[in-house]
Amino acid sequence: MTRRASFHTLGCKLNYTETATLREQFTDAGFDVVDFHEESDVVLINTCSVTNKADAEARKYIRQALRRSPHAYVVVVGCSAQLRAEELASIDGVDLVLGTREKFRVMDYLDSSLRKQGPRIVVGEVDDVAEFGPAAAADPGDRTRAFLKVQDGCDYSCSFCTIPLARGGSRSESIERTVEHARGILDQGFKEIVLSGVNVGDFGAGTEHSLYDLLLALLELDGDFRMRISSIEPNLLTDDIIRLTAESDRMCNHFHIPLQSGSDAVLRAMRRRYNTRRFRERIDALLTAIPDCGIGIDVIVGSPGETDARFEDAYRFLVDIPFEYLHVFTYSERPDTDALDLPDQVAPEDRTKRSRMLRTLSQKKRRAFYQSQLGRTLDVLLEKPGDDGTISGFTGNYVRVALPYQPGLENRLLPVRLDRIERGVVRGEWPTASL
């Protein structure tokens, strides 16, 4: 009987991309990949350690999988596996915990008979991880958007962050190999490539190449596709990248930029590499070159040093920025980070209140951005039909637009007129003679 494998991913897009690569390894080895909610012989959980909630989630999913498939061989990989291997291995039923370097050799470590004989931990040091584990993938059955991993690890040392500890230093795929992967993705019929990594803007660090060079090479590819950068640090968003995006029809007019705090004092405590003036200047440069750019911003609330007055400054700073949406994270203490020793820790109830305030601001800004786009006709990459008789997809500047479903629209990049907002959703109409 064919053996079955199921997967669950926590955390960032990069983790999803890497799970897809691991999934392919199982398929190549003859496993049937089944849904995580089905019984299976191997369960692989790809963990995240960014917040303590992510750690708790990992434990929850491991236990859930074991309830469903008590005899399944359980493999745990990802950032938590690297940082807290012993803790994860001590959960009843876990068989294999693999570190950052080891996860891409899962087939070598998996007991071929899938015999459960107590946990095995294979976790090396990340300090000397130099190799680049490739990943280019999307969910099975989804042929619209593919996440292409171009970079891994980070050389920065933000005081709150465990990612460099879990993933090691910055390293990238070569331009040639990335172009090869991208060509493979387009040959499979994908219409959008999202360049992913921990610190994508740092692509090529330590080499003669930069992210800009990579974009130039990728834009040379033939095909009907568009490209998006998953996220870019403000200090790495160069004028060249902005100009290229403004000039190219294939680059999406959308940037997701981590700000983390709108208070300079907090940014210093976080050891971020810019201040609010520089951030604002980058946003202005973006909007001057690309007036309809959809801008997403990451913010962490409740970091050490974020006093009431500093949060108010940060809030006002954000109110003035014409962004499309915020991703709001609530600070949580992570072991082995320098932020633990910083003064002015913020009470949990204040963290919750501030998070709520910023989420409300995000909703208002999103609505204002959507409103500003109504009446325009933009290319929408249509995905899968929903249960409500509609099909939806994103514009280049990241507005989700829903339309009445018609067969044959899946995975097509089509011009749609953004007509109105209904219950927070932008409804589209076909411009005359577009189909």
- In the complex, which residues of this chain contact ligand SF4 (CB under 6 A)? 154, 156, 158, 161, 163-164, 198-199, 233
> Smallest distance from the beta carbon of 289 to ligand SF4, in angstroms?
24
CB nearer ligand SF4, residue 119 or residue 258: 258
Residues 94 and 59: their CA atoms lie apart, in Å, by: 10
CB nearer ligand SF4, residue 44 or residue 300: 300
> Smallest distance from the beta carbon of 123 to ligand SF4, in angstroms?
20
Burial class (CB in 10 A: 0-12, 13-18, 19+), 176: exposed
CB nearer ligand SF4, residue 109 or residue 156: 156
CB nearer ligand SF4, residue 23 or residue 256: 256
CB nearer ligand SF4, residue 84 or residue 334: 334
> Smallest distance from the beta carbon of 429 to ligand SF4, in angstroms?
40
Residues 381 and 118: their CA atoms lie apart, in Å, by: 47
> Smallest distance from the beta carbon of 259 to ligand SF4, in angstroms?
11
> Smallest distance from the beta carbon of 153 to ligand SF4, in angstroms?
8
Identify the CA nearest to 153 among candidates 214, 197, 209, 201: 197
Cβ-count burial 283-295 (b if 16+ within 10 Å, e if not): beebbebbebbbb
> Smallest distance from the beta carbon of 171 to ligand SF4, in angstroms?
13
Radius of gyration of the chain (CA): 22
CB nearer ligand SF4, residue 233 or residue 383: 233
CB nearer ligand SF4, residue 89 or residue 300: 300
CB nearer ligand SF4, residue 156 or residue 325: 156
> Smallest distance from the beta carbon of 351 to ligand SF4, in angstroms?
18
- Contact by Cβ (8 Å): 48, 19: no
Q: How many CB atoms lie within 10 A of CB 131?
A: 11
> Smallest distance from the beta carbon of 273 to ligand SF4, in angstroms?
8
Q: Which two tokens stand for residue 120?
A: 């095995």
